[in-house]
Amino acid sequence: VPPRVPGRAPALPGAAVPQVTVRDALNQALDEELERDERVFLLGEEVAQYDGAYKISRGLWKKYGDKRVIDTPISEMGFTGIAVGAAMAGLRPVCEFMTFNFSMQAIDQVINSAAKTCYMSSGTIAVPIVFRGPNGASAGVAAQHSQCFAAWYGHCPGLKVVSPWSSEDAKGLLKASIRDDNPVVMLENELLYGVPFEMSEQAQSKDFIVPIGKAKIERPGTQVTLVSHSRPVGHCLEAAAVLAKEGVECEVINLRTIRPMDIETVEASVVKTNHLVTVEGGWPQFGVGAEICARIMEGRSAFNYLDAPAVRVTGADVPMPYAKILEDNCLPQVKDIIFAVKKTLNI
């Protein structure tokens, strides 16, 4: 029996349900897009001969060679600049950061060069590039390797920002990002790489994509809306399962895209449930949840239906500690989500 996926019931013994890890889903997407379009290439630290630091690019260097899968020196500013220039020249690079914390070394290339060029050139220069890699907290890697950059990059016009949870999200969003003519930041989660999820037959097709800018309702409900992205989606589904036993039906929304944000799906859910809780691993100030709450407040359709103030569940407002017990207490847990739901429902 495959390991239990957070928020998903394990497959029944003998049931023919395809299980694919997030790592393998990303590998499939890269393989299919490298094969489909000769302009696509992958570059980053250890992506070629070592098969990737997290084995996302396993087997691709042997299949496509040095010109399509390129190992780079440890210089984010340098190889990101090369990738952005290649995109301006008509190629479609996939630029891997070993962790998005290291993208800070190249933020000038990502923002000033990639995000702003199409606008500043009056649309004459496209920059079709994907910046991808693990984002947010892993386990025991301390403050300089544990930030969530969803709010950072989601703040910047000119970028699209996606944040997958499941294997289906990961494959479909990566393929859509590579095919997009704009710079896309894809924020993965290291702790999800080895987690298997069910993959539909449609999702295993080479033509499968997940549209950028469209959220997904992972669990329908009627009493409270839970909105999240990346790994905390699983925590929301676990919390919803616990609350269901107490008679509370939660609707769980997987944002999948941070920018452009699918606020229409959130508003429609709030109109139905009359309550809103946002959940994220990032810091509270100027966070993704803060943006969702502001949008609901400013929009007439959903705000008038709220029966209680929206509640945010976030990471603690501190640099990430190294000690495991402190790390656990700095990240949203299932119990925190349950507490927030009961608070907003006044139960």
Please state, in angstroms and as integers, the Cα–Cα distance from residue 94 to each residue in 69, 160, 332, following that order. Answer: 10, 14, 31
**Residue 171, by phi and psi: left (phi above 0), alpha (psi -120 to 50) or beta?**
alpha
Q: Which residue in 32, 33, 45, 76 is the catalytic one?
A: 76
224 close to 248: Cβ distance less than 8 angstroms? yes
Q: Which residue in 32, 33, 96, 145 is the catalytic one?
A: 145
- Our answer to whether residue 145 is catalytic in this structure is yes
Residues 6+ apart with CB under 8 A from 261: 154, 213, 255, 291, 292, 295
Bridge partners of residue 133, in order along the sequence: 187
Which residues are identified as catalytic?
76, 145
